[in-house]
Amino acid sequence: MSEQQEEMSFWDHLEALRWTLFRCIIALVVFAIGSFAAMRYLFDEVILAPCHADFILYKLLCRITTAVPLLPDFCDETYNVTLFNVKLASQFFTHMTTSFWLALLLTFPYLMYEVWKFIRPALYEHEKQNVRWVFMFGTGMFFMGCAVGYFLVFPMTLRFLATYHISESIQEQVSLESYMDNFFMLIFIMGVVFEMPLLSWLLSKLGLLTRAFFNKYRRHAIVGLLVIAAFITPSSDPFTLGCVFFPLYGLYELSALFVRKAPKEDDEEEETNIVKYEKGD
């Protein structure tokens, strides 16, 4: 095969795209069927796990709050969220849609690999290195965000809302649809939120964002992230609020590290270092 490959025509690109989509659909169908078959176990042991007092987060918080008496108590062994179903076909459709979403989540790395394979021939060698790093980092951050959503954000939100009572005469029961909507929404939102460092890096590469932006609006960001954390976990105690706020603030600072400084910022920093050096003499 010659070193210089012939340029692909429009129909060649279309054919490559067709096979890429075909492989992605096959992967989704296979994993959706597997998820559908294992859904009873997945539902009881994974999806509904935050409904019970023996969930891993609650056990960990119980140990922490026992050691520190000032923190709210998470050692309620009677905690249990009961779900109910109203519509006749809801459980069947929940079975189907949950299988699809789990398949999408599990095949996400492979889907990103197929996208990478499709766009790779159009890139230069140095661009391939950068884009490969972007896909790997973006995939890892997405799964990290989903993990934070599942193990932290959703259980904290569920526990607060399920135990909140406006009146003792009202019995708390959660519908299946409401539970699943919040489950997927919070987990996928956290997965997307964890892409913020990657988005910041891309905007920096385009010259649309510099580190000065993060330094200038850090106080505004802290207030905004506190509001978001309070909205996600509307609890009155600072411990619960901090469990959500600090990961979000960590993402903000990580995003600032991925953004390059503007030339003016570099000059000002160099001048500051010179002044400090002269004062030290």
- Please give the pLDDT value at position 269: 52
Between CA 254 and CA 197 the distance in angstroms is 6
pTM above 0.85, yes or no: no
pLDDT at 8: 66
H-state helical runs in 149-195: 154-163, 176-193
For residues 180-192, average pLDDT: 89
Q: pLDDT at residue 268 above 80?
A: no
pLDDT band at 5 (very low <50, low <70, confident <90, very high): very low
Give the tens place of pLDDT for each residue, 119-132. 777 767 766 677 77
Helix (H, G, I), strand (E, B) or coil at 175: strand
Sequence-distant contacts of 214-219: CB under 8 A, at least 24 apart: 214/252, 214/253, 214/255, 214/256, 214/259, 215/256, 218/252
Q: Which whole number is the average pLDDT over 29-53?
A: 93
Does position 166 have pLDDT exceeding 90, yes or no?
A: no
Instruction: Give every CB contact of residue 155 below 8 A, 6+ residues apart in sequence.
Output: 50, 55, 57, 58
User: 64-73, 135-144, 199-208: lowest mean pLDDT where?
Assistant: 64-73
pLDDT of residue 38: 93
User: Mean of the pLDDT values across residues 239-267?
Assistant: 79
